Structures are given as C-alpha cells and as structure tokens.
Chains A and B, each alone.
Chain A
Amino acid sequence: MAQTVRSTAVTATPATQADVELRRVVKAFGTEVAVRDLDLTVHQGEFFSILGPSGCGKTTTLRLIAGFETPTAGDVLIQGANVSTVPAHRRPVNTVFQSYALFDHMTVKDNIAFGLKIRRMGSPQVRDRVAEALRLVRMETMAARYPAQLSGGQQQRVALARALVNHPAVMLLDEPLGALDQKLRKQMQVELANLHRQLGITFIMVTHDQEEALSLSDRIAVMNNGQIEQIGTPSDIYDRPSTAFVADFIGDTNLLPGRVDQAYPSQVQVTTDSGLRVLACTASSSDAQTVVVSVRPEKINLSLSAPTAANNCYQGHISHLMYLGTHLHCVVRLGSGETLMVRQPNRAESLGVDTAVYVHWAADDCLVLDPA
C-alpha cells in the first residue's frame, strides 16, 4: 500500500488534513427532515464512526457523502473539493453496503474487478490488484465462486475487497457487521481494524452498535434526531458525555434528575428529585439549575458493610439480580425510593434478592449534565 503512515494525531489536531467535510448540511425528504444543520470534519486516515439509534439520520449522512443523496442545503467536501452536486460514480469514495449488494451474476473475482474495469485499467494490473485485495481479506481460494456459494462472513469480505481494491480516498461502511452473528462480528472487528491500519485510508462507519464504535473508532459522532449530539474520542464519549442522551445511549447509565444546591470549582452539590444529596463533577461551565446526574453502573461500588470514606453513599436493598458470568447485574432500590443499576464483578460475596447493601461512588465517577 502506498500510504503506510497512519495519522497518529487523530484527535482533532488542527494540522491534520480534512478528508471529508460537511458544512451546515440539511437533508429533507418531503416534510421529513432526516439531517439538520450538520457540521462534520473527518480527518485524513481516521477511523470515524457515526453512531446513533435507528432513524437518527446516520445512514442518510453516509449516503450524502457517497453521493446517493444530494443535500437540500449545505455543502459536502471530499479532499477539499465541493462534491455536493457530483453524482456517486464520480466521487473518490467506495462503500461497503449493509446488505453487501454483491453482483450475484458475477464471480467473486469479477465483483472485485468491477470498479477497476469500469475505470478501464489494463488487465494485468487488474489481475494484480484483485489478487492483492483477495489476499488482504484472506479470500484467495474463493475467487472463482459466486456470491450465493459464500457464507455471510465471506460475502462481507468480498464486499470489503470490492471497495478497497479501488484505493479510494475514503471508505464508507454502512453497518458493515450488522448481518453477522456475535462471534463472527468480533472477529471481523479485529480484521476491520487491521485493514484500516494497513491501508491508512479514511474509514467512515455507520453503526448502531456502541461497542463496535467504541472499540474500532478514533473518533465517534453520536447522532440523534438528525443532529450531532457529540463528537469525540471513545473515552470522551463514554467518560465525558456532553448530553444526557449520549450518556444514556453509550453504555448503561443511571440518570438522576435534580437541582444544583451549591457549585464548587469543577464540582457541584445536587439534590435529586427523590431527595438524595449527590456530589458530582461538572464537565461544562453550564450554570443550569435543573440538571441530571449520570453515574455508570460499573462505577458504583456495592458493599455489605458501611464503607469508610465515600462522597456518595446510600443504603438500599437488591431488588433484582442477574447473573452474567463475569459480572452480576443488580438493581438496587434505595431507601429514598430510587432504583440504581449496579454492575459488580463476580466475587464470592453472598448477594441475593433482598440483601441489604450500601452503594457508594466517588464524586469523580459521576457527572452533571444538562437534561435532555
């Protein structure tokens, strides 16, 4: 591959070159607005994910970049060139479709060679490039087969090879692993990450699977309702969500609505609607009085005896218990009536339904957010 250097400064360093840029893009279908006022910059060589629930506009965003949709307003730029009105077949991007969309009347080899032949590349070169692509996705022995003779995972590899053989500036992946079973998914995630590292080209992936987005991406845009809620690195998104929606959508969290009692530098004292007093840290400088406290289930500690030192410590009892092998998932009902999800490592503690427990967490482990 020509490009071997993967940009290490992927976390929004201004010096990094923009590969794909959306400027105030709006896409409406009739009266339905799928994407509203979207601003987005994806850097060269980045693995960028667009994450959100179904109907949030993430696939439309990808289709706007691919050229299958033209924006109602705003501009789409690829490598600095405004391509808003350029049809799909003249854009330097290739897509891996959710359904794979393999040409079932062609062999694997011909599927992969399709883009090269369209560009009238000489046949010796086509043969070399196809062989290289087949090797990259480890499908060398399947070249003469038809798509109908392949398993789902193999079809997925062919779809990948068919896109990357063209050496596009940007690879677009629409729920690429959505149709695979859990085990194959994990395996393909590793392969996707390896491919991205080897090729050094920009990947933009649409997914509704937060775990997939977190494990693969350099940066993630979380979308909701046609807009971007937050863009950041996986740890930004998970540990420092900027809205209650993001906190709730990425991973599990407990959201406690309440009011700010007192503000300290970087921390606030909140009284929740049910009367709990919680000390939490603030991410933003927002001085809103009505807030939501977010605390992740795995940040909450559970103990049978009163802990020695903790900012936020409450008494309650376990109302539900789910055994998950490596973990226990508990629902704890507090004395104040609130219920909290708690994730506990599977240790030799005798926890059961109705066991009286203490729950506690550090102020640094919970975050005050604006209500959604």
Chain B
Amino acid sequence: MTPAPSPTPAVTWADRLAPRRWLGPVTLLGPAGVWLLVLLVLPTLLILEISLVPGLRLGQPSGGYGLGNYLQILQPVYLRVIGRSVAFAVGSTALCLLLGFPVAYWLALMSPQRWRNLLLVAFILPLWTSSLLRAYAWTTILRPSGVLNAMLAAIGLPTQNWLNTPTAVFIGLTYSFLPYMVLILYASLEKLDTRLLEAAADLGASPRQSFWKITVPQILPGIAAASLLVFISTLSDFVVPTLLGGASSMNISRLIYNQFLGPTRAWGFGSALSMVLILAVSLAIALLIRYGDRNTVTET
C-alpha cells in the first residue's frame, strides 16, 4: 500500500510513482499481504462462489447459480442450530463478564503493586496450553465417573452426568475465554483515572454511585471490546461444543464441519453457512471498532 496521494497540485504523477514513495510500504507489507491474499481472501471468495451453487455435492454435477443454499438455512432445524450458537456465545460472554470483571477490578485497582504482574501472568497461564488439551482435561472432570461427581459425592450432593450437556459447553467456553476477558478489562481498568473517583466522592457520590456513574462509563469501551471478542470467539468455537457438548450441543461450526467432512458432503450448504458466520463475526467486529472508541461513548 502506498500512502494516500497528497491533493496539492505540485505533486506530479512521476513523483507519486517514484520508487521512494512505494518501495518501503511494499517491502514491509508485501510478504504478509501475499500470504493473506492467497490463504484468506481468495479462499473466502471461493467459498462465496460455492455457496451460490444450490445443492452442490462433491462428485455430483451442479445446476448453476442461485440462492437455494441460503434459503435452506431458514429451515427451523438449522435456525435452531444458529439460535443455540448465539445462546452459547451470549451466555458464556455474560458469564465471563460476571466472573472476569471483579478479578480485573481487583488486579488493576486493589492488588499489591509488586505482585500484580505475577498475578496477571498466573491468570493468563492457561492460554499457553493447547485449547484442545484443556477441553480434553474437562472431559475427565465432567464425565459420569469424573472428578466433579467424585467431589459432589464426597460432600453428599447428588451426582449427575455433566458431560454432553449444554451446561458443560457453558463451563468449557467460559473457562477457555475468561483470561481474554480479564486481560482486556484489566488493561482498561488500569488506565482508569482514579482522580475521577475522588472527584465523584467529593461531589457526594457514594462508592456504589461512583462505580456505576464513573467507573463503568469510563471503561465501557473496554467492556465492549472484551465482550465482543469473547462473543466472536465463542460463537464460532468448535472444540468445546464437540468434546464437551456431544449430540445435545450442535452449533454452527459443527454444522459447517458436518457439511464438508460428514457423510452428506453438501459443500454448497456448508459454504452458505460459512458466509453467514463470517458476516455475523464481521458485524461484531464492526461494532467493536465503533464502540471500542472512547469518543463515541455517549453519556449514561
């Protein structure tokens, strides 16, 4: 990419095309740009094309372009899958926010300064191990003869099968993405100007009033960023619903997987589902850019 050409008439085309203007940016951005073009942009366009061929199946002749694949998504059975995916995402994002906010608040504003970095590292340590391994670890906790039931039995509570339930998916998703929530909220809370809290107290606000009228609005961009990031990640997660949710927890990623690698081989329908997911995630990212910006946060 070259810098935007200056509007001043003094700049000639020869000047604009001079190597000194584009050589640097092209050298810096070129390799990654080619990588993204070949491995992201072109495949996405390919998926878009396949999604527009109704009833496309691997090894069968196709019947031209149309919107049939997208109309198929509107069938109740598939809308339920999408609804379930959104419910998983919203629920686990809300759980992450509820559990993560107090932790981030304590870390940023109350924890002892000298231990702060160590505590932060301790909290993000799970991110350094494979998400697949962590999901497998949860199966040993949640299965009928697992750790959770053993503990419940030991204190005399009724045991139940946790594995392959939506509850297990919520637990797994919240566990997986809580560190992201804490990290982003921490970064936001750490920048909070505590003098504003003093000013609020000076004007008669109790600590609770200061929290809702100053702290929360001040870090709303951070809350929005963290929540949207967790929402995007949980909406399209594949590992946790597959390993912990079982048959009860078919979500959109698993449905897409089945279209491409399952027995039906309905690539056209799978591509249409992928496009819908890409669109949903893009929308969430657009919201992130819009509301992650401090200046656009309006008064409460």
Contacts and interface: CB of A to CB of B under 8 A. Distances in A.
Interface in B138-196: 193, 195-196
Interface in A90-104: 90, 93-95, 97, 99, 101-104
Given A68-B198, A99-B195, A118-B209, A105 B299 contact: yes
Interface in A109-126: 110, 114-115, 118-119
Given A105-B217, A107-B299, A94 B195 contact: no
A166 B199 contact: no
Nearest to A148: B295
B201 A87 contact: yes
A38 B66 CA distance: 85
A101 B204 contact: no
Given A105-B297, A110-B299, A148-B295, A94 B202 contact: yes
A103 B205 contact: no
Nearest to A94: B202
Q: What class of interface size applies to chain B in its complex with A?
A: 20 to 34
Nearest to B196: A101
A97 to B, nearest CB: 6
Given A101-B196, A103-B214, A105-B218, A95 B202 contact: yes
Nearest to A119: B204
B205 A89 contact: yes
Interface string B215-232: 001101000000000000
B275 to A, nearest CB: 37
B38 to A, nearest CB: 43
Contacts of B213: 114
B199 A101 contact: yes
A157 interface: no
A94 B297 contact: no
Interface of B: 193, 195-196, 198-207, 209, 213-214, 217-218, 220, 295, 297-300
Interface string A60-96: 0000001110000000000000000001111001110
Contacts of B193: 101
A94 B200 CA distance: 10
B175 to A, nearest CB: 33
A211 B46 CA distance: 75
Q: Which of A90, A103, A106 has the most CB of B within 10 A?
A: A103
A66 B178 CA distance: 39
The 6 A-B residue pairs whose C-beta atoms are closest, nearest first, are A115-B203, A101-B199, A88-B201, A101-B195, A89-B201, A118-B204
A106 B213 CA distance: 10
Contacts of A90: 204
Given A97-B195, A107-B299, A66 B202 contact: yes
A162 interface: yes
Given A87-B201, A106-B217, A115-B203, 14 more contacts: A68-B202, A89-B200, A89-B202, A95-B199, A95-B202, A101-B199, A103-B214, A104-B218, A105-B300, A110-B299, A114-B205, A118-B203, A162-B203, A166-B203
A114 B201 contact: no
Contacts of B214: 103
Nearest to B299: A106
B299 A101 contact: no
Interface in A158-176: 162-163, 166
